[in-house]
Amino acid sequence: MLQPSAPEWTDSECPVARTADLVGDKWILLIIRDSLDGKHRFSEYERSLGVAKNILSDRLRLLVERGILIRIANDRGTRSEYQLTSAGRDLFTLILSLRQWGERNAFGADEAHSTLVDPATGEPVPRLRALRENGAELTPETTHLVKTAESQQ
């Protein structure tokens, strides 16, 4: 199980709050985005993000500490690379969802922006949707929360 850097979770029973504790920082989300886009080195993240070195170093350290990235030193001990763990790769749909929300809501109709495409078709990745097993779309109005188990405190 992944753990936050702080000693306690913000809301111990909420998966959204726990995820925000782990990845809810602008720079962390952008590093994950860049990692999913194939970046692995400090210099690649720095060039892509334009972030101060101390902030980038801190966020990479946190991502390694939290089990989202692993740091791999090269044979000569210089220029480490970072790779997503399986938990980090699981964030693909979160980043895709944020990207697609941004495409719909954070840009004007004629404003240029990046779009994730399927290289096999050249078409934009289809919009993510929550679906029932029969294919019907789920919405906030057609779902509700339940606890999966009582806390063992």
pLDDT tops 80 at residue 1: no
Q: CA quadruple 5, 101, 121, 38: dihedral positive or negative?
A: negative
Residue with tokens 């919405």: 139
Q: Which residues pair with residue 39 across a beta bridge?
A: none
Hey, what CATH topology would domain 15-113+125-142 get? Arc Repressor Mutant, subunit A (1.10.10)
Percentage of residues in the chain having pLDDT higher than 90: 80
Q: How far apart are CA 114 and CA 64, in angstroms?
A: 28
Q: How far apart are CA 132 and CA 121, in angstroms?
A: 26
User: What are the strands, taking DSSP E only, across the chain?
Assistant: 69-72, 81-84
pLDDT tops 70 at residue 7: no
- Tell me the pLDDT band of 75, cut-offs 50, 70 and 90: confident
**CA-based diameter of the chain, in Å?**
56
Domain residue extents for the chain: 15-113+125-142
pTM of the entire predicted model: 0.88
Query: How does pLDDT run across 76-86, given as a tens digit for each residue?
Result: 767 899 999 99
